[in-house]
Amino acid sequence: MNIAATLPQTLAPGVSGVIVLLFGFAGVFPVGIALSILGAFAVWPIKAVK
Which pLDDT tens digit goes with each residue over 1-50? Answer: 888 899 999 999 999 999 999 999 999 999 999 999 999 999 999 888 87
Q: Looking at this protein, which amino acid is placed at residue 22?
A: L
pLDDT of the residue at 47 = 87
Measured in degrees and rounded to the nearest 5, phi and psi for residue 42 equal: -70, -35
Measured in degrees and rounded to the nearest 5, phi and psi for residue 47 equal: -95, -40
pLDDT of the residue at 33 = 97
pLDDT of the residue at 30 = 96
**pTM given for the model:** 0.73
- What separation, in Å, do the N-terminal and C-terminal C-alpha atoms of the chain show? 18
